[in-house]
Amino acid sequence: MTIHIDNFEFDVIIGLLDFERDRPQRVIIDLEASYDYIDGNFINYADMVSLIQTEFKEKRYKLLEDALLGIKMLLCTTYPHIKALMLKISKPDILPNCSVGLSKSWKF
């Protein structure tokens, strides 16, 4: 099974620039998490979304790279039966005329 979470948007403090540390900005999270569904052993996607948002709000990451690795560690620790994970974090409002982001895929 593969969970798809697309266009998960929320406001959070993230970034290096002074103004990014002063006020929240919108981020968009996309992810795919593959796992073996056996005997009712499933991943609750609503819990996953809540976990991700709480992590971002608590950590107030400076770098997208650190946020990406932090979320990966959190998800893999919480859901050890994940077999593959793709994460993308976008900051759609940081630059005019474009959205910027970072992504990574892992297989376990």
Please tell me the distance from the alpha carbon of residue 40 to that of residue 72, in angstroms, as a whole number.
Answer: 23
Which residues are 60's β-sheet partners? none
What pLDDT is stored for residue 40 in this prediction? 87
CATH of the domain at 32: 3.30.1130.10
In the chain, the number of structural domains is 1
Residue 72 has pLDDT above 90, yes or no: yes
The mean pLDDT of 23-37, rounded to a whole number, is 97
The mean pLDDT of 86-105, rounded to a whole number, is 96
Which residue range(s) make up the domain with 48? 2-107
Please tell me the distance from the alpha carbon of residue 33 to that of residue 82, in angstroms, as a whole number.
Answer: 6
State pLDDT tens for residues 3-18. Answer: 999 999 999 999 998 9
Higher pLDDT, 28 or 19: 28
Nearest to 106 by CA among 35, 27, 55: 35
Locate all alpha helices (DSSP H) within 30-63, ordered by sequence.
45-59
